[in-house]
């Protein structure tokens, strides 16, 4: 029986941001399932075998949050626990009801469904580039990768595309602002406003279902066991899709954009041989792991893989740290863009595998390919790059200013693109009803 | 006789098997979960399946002789 090994670990710390994967290696060396006293105490899972085993047992490792009961052992997927009115939608549910929600939304995010959004992703990326290309400078995060996944997410959910800007700051700042930051109250206020806006959409949707489209329409129409979905869960689910849709692909793509500037040989290989994007995407996902991991609540005294757990304990099942497990990945801290096999955990493992994974891959490849096509040479302005202050939830960058040889615009830019795509989506929806 | 199959209750739709061996695996329309195509299990196909099995994050693919 394994002895409880204690480590000094806090995924929200500056140390984790600056040398998280080194810390992971040290912890994993001591014990792939170790305990930390941070944030009230939690297990830190740094091994891939262990993470995989725990995620196959949602009965023991629950993702659920019990809304309205802050004393519950079911504290959801974030450490530290932050009370929330709506929660994290189906991410903070267990089977069987979790699977019912996924069934409602699966068809929007299947591999074939996401292909139908590719033209819009391509067009939006070019429109964003059009707005900066003639200046010879711009911000890859603020002007390209914050925008494209956000507008696409709005389209998928069925919200007004131009409202992406309302959600933009709370979606990102909510993630990168440390729990104890003096800026937290302002960010929490923005998040509350975002919730109020989503609520307006839900009310509009209930009042006028015919005019509602996308995932929101599906959630409003759906029943589970003959009952419509509780409003609170519709709110949580929309918030979840916005959070997942806005921040993760953005963070990921920005890290790869910087990586390719620093590794021109890999950039050249990808440009020369686009088939490499397949394995390269998976390798970048493994290495950068935009979503760092999710927490679980242990539901009963139990033993898994020789580790003893107690009911009510919390565990951080990391994605990023198991993705560097030397037992499964040779040279784990090096990027090999042709790495195979690559059984990484960047989209999570088990029943909560990221429902947006196919969309994320399509968005990433599309944005990268169009951006490298229009801006083949660029220089990152490192003075201006700001990583997220807190990289415990998402490994991302607040901005990434760059300069490049000025080019020629191909179209009128983002505002026009958003109008055009809104019209297309409205027409599609009208002809479908 | 060689058997190749995807454990349905283990597959979570990562789609890495399909990326590695689209000639061997197909993805369900609604959720991208994988299954083995209805094809002859030639040596080539079995080799491709073994390679794909290594890259499944859930280790859902079984190749047994």
Q: How remote is the C-alpha of A12 from its chain's centroid?
A: 17
User: What is the pTM assigned to this prediction?
Assistant: 0.97
- Asked if residue A253 lies in contact with residue A370, where contact means CB atoms within 8 angstroms, the answer is no
The boundaries of the domain holding residue A172 are: 14-432
A414 within domain boundaries: yes
Residue numbers in A near B12 (CB within 8 A): 349-351, 353
Calpha distance A430→A425 (Å, rounded): 9
A174 within domain boundaries: yes
Calpha distance A286→A282 (Å, rounded): 6
A2 within domain boundaries: no
Mean residue pLDDT of chain A comes to 96
- Asked if residue B61 lies in contact with residue B48, where contact means CB atoms within 8 angstroms, the answer is no
Q: Give the gap in angstroms from C-alpha A300 to the nearest C-alpha of chain B.
A: 23
The pLDDT tens digits of the residues spanning A356-412 come to: 999 999 999 999 999 999 999 999 999 999 999 999 999 999 999 999 999 999 999
- Please state the domain count of chain A: 1
**What CATH number is attached to the domain comprising A213?**
1.10.630.10
The pLDDT tens digits of the residues spanning A271-330 come to: 999 999 999 999 999 999 999 999 999 999 999 999 999 999 999 999 999 999 999 999
Calpha distance A348→A317 (Å, rounded): 9
Residue numbers in B near A107 (CB within 8 A): 30
CB count in 10 Å sphere of residue A350: 22
Check whether the bond before A72 is cis (ω within 30° of 0). Answer: no
- Asked if residue A251 lies in contact with residue A396, where contact means CB atoms within 8 angstroms, the answer is yes
Picking from A48, A36, A64, the residue whose alpha carbon sits closest to that of residue A392 is A36
Give the Å distances, CA to CA, from A367 to A116, A151, A265, A386, A415: 15, 13, 20, 21, 18
Low-confidence spans in chain A with pLDDT less than 70:
1-2, 433
Q: Does A358 touch chain B (CB under 8 A)?
A: yes
Query: CA gyration radius for chain B?
Result: 10
A175 within domain boundaries: yes
A106 within domain boundaries: yes
Structural domains of chain B sorted by starting position, each given as residue range(s) with its CATH number in brackets: 3-64 (3.30.70.20)
> Residues A142-149: contacts with CB within 8 Å, 24+ apart?
A142/A399, A144/A367, A144/A371, A145/A249, A145/A250, A145/A253, A145/A254, A145/A257, A145/A367, A146/A172, A146/A246, A146/A250, A147/A414, A148/A121, A148/A124, A148/A363, A148/A366, A148/A367, A149/A245, A149/A246, A149/A248, A149/A249, A149/A250, A149/A363
- Cβ of A351 within 8 Å of Cβ of B51? The answer is no
Q: Which of B18, B31, B51 sits opposite A106 (nearest CB)?
A: B31
- Cβ of B16 within 8 Å of Cβ of A343? The answer is yes
Mutate to test the interface with B, among A48, A100, A106, A339 (most CBs of B within 10 A): A106
């Amino acid at each position: 029986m394994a002895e409880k090994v204690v480590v000094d670990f806090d995924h929200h710390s500056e140390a984790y941001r600056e040398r998280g994967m080194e810390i992971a290696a040290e912890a994993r060396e001591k014990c792939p399932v170790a305990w930390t006293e941070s944030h009230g105490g939690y297990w830190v899972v740094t091994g891939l075998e262990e993470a995989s085993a725990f995620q196959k047992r949602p009965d023991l490792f629950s993702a659920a949050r019990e809304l309205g009961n802050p004393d519950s052992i079911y504290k959801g997927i974030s450490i530290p626990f932050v009370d929330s009115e709506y929660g994290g939608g189906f991410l903070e549910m267990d089977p069987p009801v979790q699977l019912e929600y996924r069934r409602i939304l699966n068809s929007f995010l299947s591999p074939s469904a996401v292909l139908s959004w590719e033209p819009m992703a391509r067009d939006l990326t070019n429109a964003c580039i059009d707005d900066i290309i003639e200046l010879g400078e711009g911000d890859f995060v603020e002007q390209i990768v914050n925008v494209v996944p956000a507008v696409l997410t709005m389209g998928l959910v069925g919200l007004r595309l131009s409202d992406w800007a309302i959600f933009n700051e709370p979606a990102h700042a909510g993630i990168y602002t440390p729990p104890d930051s003096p800026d937290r109250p302002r960010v929490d206020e923005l998040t509350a406003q975002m919730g109020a806006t989503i609520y307006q959409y839900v009310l509009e949707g209930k009042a006028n279902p015919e005019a509602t489209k996308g995932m929101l329409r599906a959630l409003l129409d759906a029943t589970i066991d003959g009952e419509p979905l509780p409003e609170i869960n519709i709110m949580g689910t929309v918030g979840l899709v916005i959070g997942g849709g806005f921040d993760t692909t953005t963070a990921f793509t920005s890290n790869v954009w910087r990586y390719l500037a620093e590794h021109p040989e890999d950039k050249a290989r990808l440009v020369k041989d686009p088939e490499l994007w397949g394995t390269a995407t998976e390798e970048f996902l493994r290495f950068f792991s935009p979503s760092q991991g999710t927490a679980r609540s242990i539901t009963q005294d139990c033993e898994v893989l020789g580790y003893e757990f107690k009911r009510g304990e919390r565990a951080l099942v990391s994605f990023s740290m198991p993705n560097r497990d030397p037992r499964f990945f040779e040279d784990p801290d090096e990027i090999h863009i042709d790495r195979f096999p690559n059984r990484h955990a960047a989209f999570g493992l088990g029943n909560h595998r990221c429902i947006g994974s196919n969309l994320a891959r399509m968005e990433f490849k599309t944005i990268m390919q169009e951006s490298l096509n229009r801006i083949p040479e660029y220089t990152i302005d490192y003075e201006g790059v700001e990583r997220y202050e807190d990289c415990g939830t998402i490994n991302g960058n607040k901005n990434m200013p760059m300069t490049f040889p000025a080019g020629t615009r191909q179209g009128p830019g983002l505002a026009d693109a958003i109008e055009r795509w809104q019209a297309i989506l409205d027409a599609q929806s009208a002809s479908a009803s | 006789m060689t058997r190749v199959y995807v454990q349905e209750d283990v597959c979570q739709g990562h789609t890495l098997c399909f990326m590695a061996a689209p000639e061997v695996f197909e993805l369900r329309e609604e959720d991208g979960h994988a299954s083995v195509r209805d094809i002859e299990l030639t040596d080539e196909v079995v080799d491709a399946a073994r390679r794909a099995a290594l890259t499944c994050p859930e280790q859902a693919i079984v190749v047994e002789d």
